[in-house]
Amino acid sequence: MKKTQLLFVSTIIAISANAFAADKDGHGHEHKPLHGGVVVEASDMDFELVAKADQISLHVRDHGKPTNLQGALAKLTLLNGSEVQLVPVGDRLEAKGSYKLGTGTKAVATVTLAGKKPVNLRFALK
């Protein structure tokens, strides 16, 4: 094989390997919803927002595993004008009430886990 052909083949292999690696985040987990919500990654953690007309839940995972939410605080602002305080309920942060939600509704959340800096998140409901 000529040097130019070898260089070309090596370049194609390197590009393919990088594209494949970019498909994974390197954290050993995928960012797929486990509860039917919308997932956003921030600070090496996954935040899954599950919004229903009578309940809003935020599931927090650290490298694919549920996070200890004891002492956690969260505020969710629905960009249609509602502001919601979420409190720990078992393995999630949650609020119950009556919410106007629909496809495309946007939300901004600020989540503070015990002993950590606040994390700001943006969601668009599907």
User: What is the reported pLDDT for 107?
Assistant: 95
User: What is the reported pLDDT for 126?
Assistant: 85
Residue ranges in the chain modelled with pLDDT below 70: 1-31
Distance of alpha carbon 16 from alpha carbon 95, whole angstroms: 45
What's 23's DSSP letter?
Answer: H
User: What is the reported pLDDT for 106?
Assistant: 95
User: What is the reported pLDDT for 15?
Assistant: 45
CB 94 within 8 A of CB 69: no
User: How many other CB atoms are there within 10 angstroms of residue 118's CB atom?
Assistant: 13
**Tokens read off for 60:** 């927090």
**Tokens read off for 99:** 């919410």
Distance of alpha carbon 99 from alpha carbon 82, whole angstroms: 8
CB 57 within 8 A of CB 37: yes
